[in-house]
Amino acid sequence: MTETAKPDSPFAAYLRDRRMRLDPAAFGLPTTRRRTPGLRREEVAQRSNISPTWYTWLEQGRGGAPSADVLNRISVGLMLTEPEREHLFMLGLGRPPEVKYRTPEGVTPRLQRLLDSLEISPAIIKTATWDVVAWNRAAAVVLTDYGILPPAQRNILRLVFCNPRIRESQDDWEGTARFVVGAFRADAARAGATSEVSKLVEELCSLSPEFANLWRDNDVRTHGEGTKRLRHPDLGLIELEYSAFAVDGRPDLGMIVYSPIGQADADRVRSLVNLKRSKI
């Protein structure tokens, strides 16, 4: 049972701070006759669809712990960002909110610039269902030219199990396939993408008996870091080390960066990337 909030508790203080940061004019509310900055408590309560008395009690540290539904309503009323909403839940209930998967809308220009700055390190941004939504030039040259694929085909599992060229490029396809399925299972569960996963899994099971067998194994892997060997049509056998990163504030996205292990491989990748660039 979560401990009842107390006056001047971090939870109550956070509510007051977020409320006082809001600009009444932005909501079409009068700005005169206000003794303190921000919205009034009753205005936040109305926006949150809860009673003014209940909201006032929460800011005063009275009335016990709020429910998750109330915190979600307050998050809307205070226009909290996703990290701020998560912090509110941690203060109010001692746990993060339940994950509800949202279809990603793409990446920010800043994140794309980060990818592009990695000139000889192939890097991609993937969703929890392993759709590739952003990549850099090195990834297009070394891994797959995602730009020439229809968006629906930019899925890592579809490529690994249903694309003969990708299969042939893997130095250890069976090990790669098993790892991909286990890491995908963990990512999708963490993001709460149950319905999206069900559709993709059903499709892949019908297209690939090998995927169906691996999925039934219920193996779970962590996509942290490791090495990957590829047979590239221009570069020959190349060895890469990879690291996976979470995208801050975007639980629906993850970044994977591959780097050539040896100087010789790095030089070959740089030469091929420059050659491809000169032909554009």
Q: 254 with 245: CB under 8 angstroms?
A: yes
Task: pLDDT band for 158, please (50, 70, 90 cuts).
Answer: very high
pTM higher than 0.75, yes or no?
no
Q: What are phi and psi of 47, to 5 degrees?
A: -65, -30
Domains of the chain: 10-93 (1.10.260.40), 109-278 (3.30.450.180)
Give the DSSP per-residue string, 154-214: -BHHHHHHH-HHHHHHBTTHHHHHHHHHHHHHHHHHHHT-HHHHHHHHHHHHHH-HHHHHH
| Residue bearing the bigger pLDDT, 58 or 194 | 58
Check residue 5 and give its pLDDT. 44
Q: 126 with 183: CB under 8 angstroms?
A: no
- pLDDT of 3 higher than 60: no
Over residues 119-145, the mean pLDDT reads 94
pLDDT in tens, 220-277: 887 778 999 999 999 999 999 999 998 877 777 899 999 999 899 999 999 999 988 8
Check residue 220 and give its pLDDT. 81
Give the DSSP per-residue string, 126-162: EETT-BEEEE-HHHHHHT--GGGS-GGG-BHHHHHHH
Check residue 4 and give its pLDDT. 46
